[in-house]
Amino acid sequence: MTNYAVELSYDGTGFNGWQSQPGGGSVQNEVEAALRELGESSAVYGAGRTDSGVHARAQVANFRLGGEWEPRRLTLALNSKMSGSASVMRSAIVQDGFHARHNAKAREYRYFIWNSSVCYPHIRPYVLWLCGSHYDWRGAESAARLLIGRHDFRSFCRSADCPDTTERTVSYARLVRRGDLVILRIVADSFLTNMVRIAVGNLIEIASGRRDEEWLRKLLLGGQGRIASAQTVAPSGLFLWRVFYNEKISWS
């Protein structure tokens, strides 16, 4: 059996997230179904369990196949069997011990906000559209830096899915504005359920003037729980942007 890695890009709008569902409808289900159509049966392991409606620019997954596939041919073969809402961008043969999730040292997510009274219809499904003109994004940019470091993100996790250990290490967090487009870029060793979407909700509260940096600082101590944070923003603006590995993957 040969271990393969693929880099996937997908529009999450019509998917029930990455994780396999009993009734189908997930990205994992689609990739496994495509493999079966190619005469291969294998479990597929993803680097990030994106939620329903969340997109990916570069999700990484791995699986083992009995047949011998040249990586570029595998990319084209899989895409011929997939819906078009998800595409394999490139493939590689990797070491037998490689696991897309367990070997990942960090992941980058990006969240896109469009802050204008009007929105291009082409981008509307992929942003959070905020119409008001009263947002102080410079203040939110300063607050976003507070996310960097090791913190207890219990207030940034969906209550039903919070694990016992809610500390995570954020190595990079930056909020930038380019005209009407506002982007949160965040890199961490791993993420809690809804962590990025709740973080964005909190930064919007600060940008709107309803909350301040001291409030966010207290949330990062973790003792207040989910109820103390702002709302979870829509999944439409969230993208799994990149997965980082110590291993060098020879993509084709």
The residues, ordered by sequence, that sit 6+ positions from 13 with a Cβ below 8 Å of its Cβ are 53, 55, 85, 125, 236
pTM of the model: 0.96
| SS3 sequence of 16-76 | CCCCCCCCCCCHHHHHHHHHHHCCCCCCCEECCCCCCCCEEEEEEEEEEECCCCCHHHHHH
Q: Which residue, of 102, 122, 142, is where some domain finishes?
A: 102
At which of 71, 102, 133 does a domain end? 102
- State whether 48 and 71 are in the same domain: yes
Question: Are 62 and 97 spatial neighbours (Cβ–Cβ below 8 Å)?
Answer: no
Round to whole Å and give the CA distance between 248 and 138.
37
| Same domain flag for 11 and 89 | yes
Q: Quick one: 154 and 91 in the same domain?
A: no
Whole domain around residue 157: which residue ranges? 106-241
67 shares a domain with 177: no
The answer to whether residues 191 and 66 belong to one domain is: no
- Which residues are paired to 243 by β-bridges? 107
Q: Are residues 118 and 201 in the same domain?
A: yes
| Tokens, residue 138 | 């410079």
Residue 250 is assigned to a structural domain of this protein: no
Does residue 251 belong to any structural domain of this protein? no
CATH number for position 198 = 3.30.70.660
**CA torsion angle 201 239 234 118 (round to 10):** 90
Tell me, yes or no, whether 247 lies in a domain. no
Report CA 237 to chain centroid distance, whole Å. Answer: 10
Cα–Cα dist 41/250, whole Å: 24
Q: What is the pLDDT of residue 80?
A: 98
Please give the tally of structural domains in the chain: 2
Which DSSP symbol is given to 155?
Answer: G
Q: Which position among 11, 51, 96, 212 bears the catalytic label? A: 51
Q: With 90 as the cut, is the pLDDT of residue 1 above it?
A: yes
What is the average pLDDT value for the chain, to the nearest integer?
Answer: 97
Residues 141, 227, single domain; the answer is yes
pLDDT digits (tens, 9 = 90+) for 20-49: 988 889 999 999 999 999 999 999 999 999
Q: Do residues 116 and 87 share a domain?
A: no
Residue 134 one-letter amino acid:
H
Identify whether 176 is part of a domain: yes
Together in a domain, 217 and 139: yes
For residue 210, what is the DSSP state?
A: S
pLDDT tens per residue, range 181-192: 999 999 999 999
Pair (92, 191) in one structural domain: no
Residue 140 belongs to some domain of the structure: yes
The CATH number of whichever domain residue 47 belongs to comes to 3.30.70.580
Encode pLDDT of 119-147 as tens digits.
999 999 999 999 988 999 999 999 999 99
pLDDT higher than threshold 90 for residue 243: yes
Question: Is 51 considered catalytic here?
Answer: yes
User: Is the model's pLDDT at 207 over the cut of 90?
Assistant: yes
Average pLDDT over residues 86-111: 98
User: Which whole number is the average pLDDT over 196-203?
Assistant: 98
User: Considering 77, 102, 127, which residue would you say is the last residue of a domain?
Assistant: 102
The mean per-residue pLDDT over the stretch 91-99 comes to: 98
